[in-house]
Each structure stands twice: as structure tokens, then as C-alpha cells.
């Protein structure tokens, strides 16, 4: 299958594009250059027309991973966030014909902080611009005509192939290795899944032709950010000496973000007979890939 992966210079997109290229013809795009073993094109999704991108890749499936993921930047650059994260879906729909399938990577941030273990049937209520922009992307797909799509809401953790990028996991590891104080929230819940496990699930959906115009939640086991970081460092044999517990209520200067980011993946796991993913598995996947690189 010919697959276009957007956000291929990002954490999820780069790993996804490389893994899929084992069995598919994969084209990757991002907003900056990166050397990957796939056909790759720099393309700004703020462009009005996506004709150049679609003519180049002629995709049968688009996996839309690209997004402005920095919450503070989204708050300060509302129109840009809405355009790149949300309106891009509308532009993709317009630039392709109905035979092109779409997988849209969405987020727990479409829900309000009052929801615990959010299910697909729950109403969305984003509390920040990032969440609103992703809700808009979902809206365009849900209102598309005759289109096969899947919206995957998830909370990913992993490592960046692009060593210039620092995500949550790298930040925890680097801070601990540099012997700096590392405060992690004990009052923020999430259900993290590793990018490698999510890639396996996306592969499963593609290979079994299960792009069924639906929204699904794919996440891991419930934990706090503190528990995640503590377990990660212990598993990697990195000192937790400087790790301390903190409360999100004591933290200023970040975009309003839910303190309960948990997603319930029961619907997906039961419908497609997929195993649940434990926190131990998520951490072990990170360890394997950390030691491998």
C-alpha cells in the first residue's frame, strides 16, 4: 500500500514511517528536514494547497501524525495551532479523493479534566487550544462524506529518532543523568502507551483492513506521572536520588492541561480482541529502544 505519514520528523511519525516501510511504500513529510530511510519531503501544512504533497505521494492511506504539540505555543498562536492541527484535516480531505483512507492521531486533550478513564462515548470538552485544535480535526473527519477513516485518541511516550527533539521521556532521563532536581506530578493521571506499541496497533488496523470510520482509544495502564518517571528511571538503572513529588496545582507557566488525561481502551481491545498494555510493557519497550540506540 502507498502510505503518506505526516509528522514524519516527529517522535511518533518517524518511528511509524520506518516500521511501515518494511511492508509498504511509505512517503514521509514534516516541516523540517530529517534523514530517514524513506522518501521524505519538507512540506508546511499551513500551505493553502496540498496538491504538491498529494501529487508526490499519491497515497492510498494517510496517517496524519503532524501537529503542533507544544501546549504553550498553541495557546499563544491560536490561529496557527487551529490551522496546522485541525484545518489540515479539511485540506487533506479536499486534496484527496474518497478512496484515500485517513488515520488521524488525536489526543486525550479533547476531554475535560473532570473525566476519569474517558471512553469513546463521552462528550469532548477540550480545555486548551491544543485540545480544541485536535477536536476540530476530528470534526472534519466525522463530517466527511464516504470516507474511510479512524481517529485514534492516545497518549504516547517514547524516544525521538531526531536527537534535536526532547520529549517527556528524554527530559526525565536527561534531568536525572545531569543530577538535577526532577519534580513529577503525583496528581496527574495518564494512560501512556509506547510509540512502538502504538505502531503495532496501527499496523494491525492497516493489515486487517479495519479503517472503519470510527473513533477509538488506544492507551496503556493508568498511572501518575510520578509513578511513570520513577519506574522508568529504576528500570534504566538511573538514580532516583533527585526525583521528588510535586503537585500540578503548584506549577505555573504552562498551558491549562487536564490533571486527568486517562483514556479507557476497553472498546478497542474488546472489538478487535487486542491485549491490554501494562505499564511494565510500556517501560520495557522504552528500555529496549533506549539501550539499542
Ligand X SMILES: NC(=O)c1ccc[n+]([C@@H]2O[C@H](COP(=O)([O-])OP(=O)(O)OC[C@H]3O[C@@H](n4cnc5c(N)ncnc54)[C@H](OP(=O)(O)O)[C@@H]3O)[C@@H](O)[C@H]2O)c1
Q: Note the residues at the interface with ligand X (CB under 6 A).
A: 7, 9-13, 30-32, 44-46, 65-69, 84, 105, 107, 134, 154-156, 165
Q: Give the shortest CB-28-to-ligand X separation in angstroms.
A: 9
Residue closer to ligand X (CB basis): 71 or 182: 71
CA distance 43 to 131: 23
Which residue has cell 545531569?
Answer: 178
CA distance 59 to 55: 9
Residue closer to ligand X (CB basis): 148 or 194: 194
Residue closer to ligand X (CB basis): 88 or 175: 88
Q: Give the shortest CB-173-to-ligand X separation in angstroms.
A: 16
Q: Give the shortest CB-207-to-ligand X separation in angstroms.
A: 21
Residue closer to ligand X (CB basis): 35 or 99: 35
Q: Give the shortest CB-165-to-ligand X separation in angstroms.
A: 6
How many Å separate Cα 35 from the centre of its chain? 21
Using alpha carbons, select from 57, 1, 48 the residue that is nearest to residue 29.
57
Using alpha carbons, select from 212, 118, 109, 105 the residue that is nearest to residue 151.
105
Residue closer to ligand X (CB basis): 101 or 168: 168
Q: Give the shortest CB-239-to-ligand X separation in angstroms.
A: 25
Residue closer to ligand X (CB basis): 89 or 176: 89
Q: Give the shortest CB-60-to-ligand X separation in angstroms.
A: 21
Chain residue whose CB lies nearest ligand X: 10
CA distance 244 to 180: 11
Amino acid at each position: 500500500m502507498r502510505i503518506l505519514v505526516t509528522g514524519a520528523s516527529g517522535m511518533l511519525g518517524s518511528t511509524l514511517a520506518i516500521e511501515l516501510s518494511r511492508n509498504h511504500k511509505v512517503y514521509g513529510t514534516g516541516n523540517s528536514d530529517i534523514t530517514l530511510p524513506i522518501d521524505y519531503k519538507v512540506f508546511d501544512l499551513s500551505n493553502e494547497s496540498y496538491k504538491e504533497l498529494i501529487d508526490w505521494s499519491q497515497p492510498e492511506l494517510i496517517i496524519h501524525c503532524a501537529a503542533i504539540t507544544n501546549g504553550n505555543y498553541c495557546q499563544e498562536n491560536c490561529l496557527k495551532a487551529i490551522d496546522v492541527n485541525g484545518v489540515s484535516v479539511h485540506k487533506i480531505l479536499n486534496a484527496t479523493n474518497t478512496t484515500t483512507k485517513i488515520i488521524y492521531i488525536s489526543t486525550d486533550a479533547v476531554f475535560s479534566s473532570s473525566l476519569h478513564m474517558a471512553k469513546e462515548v463521552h462528550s469532548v470538552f477540550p480545555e486548551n487550544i491544543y485540545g480544541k485544535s485536535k477536536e476540530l480535526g476530528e470534526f472534519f473527519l466525522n463530517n466527511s462524506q464516504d470516507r474511510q477513516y479512524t481517529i485514534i485518541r492516545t497518549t504516547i511516550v517514547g524516544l525521538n529518532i531526531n536527537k534535536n527533539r526532547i520529549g517527556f521521556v528524554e527530559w526525565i532521563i536527561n534531568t536525572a543523568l545531569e543530577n538535577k532536581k526532577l519534580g513529577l506530578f503525583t496528581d496527574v493521571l495518564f494512560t501512556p502507551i509506547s510509540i512502538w506499541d502504538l505502531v503495532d496497533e496501527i499496523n494491525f488496523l492497516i493489515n486487517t483492513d479495519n479503517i472503519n470510520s470510527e473513533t477509538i482509544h488506544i492507551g496503556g495502564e493508568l498511572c501518575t506521572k510520578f509513578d511513570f518517571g520513577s519506574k522508568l528511571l529504576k528500570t534504566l538503572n538511573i538514580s532516583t536520588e533527585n526525583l521528588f513529588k510535586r503537585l500540578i496545582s503548584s506549577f505555573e507557566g504552562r498551558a491549562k492541561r487536564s490533571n486527568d488525561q486517562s483514556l479507557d481502551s476497553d472498546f478497542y481491545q474488546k472489538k478487535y480482541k487486542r491485549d491490554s498494555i501494562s505499564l511494565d510493557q510500556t517501560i520495557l519497550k522504552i528500555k529496549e529502544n533506549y539501550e539499542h540506540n
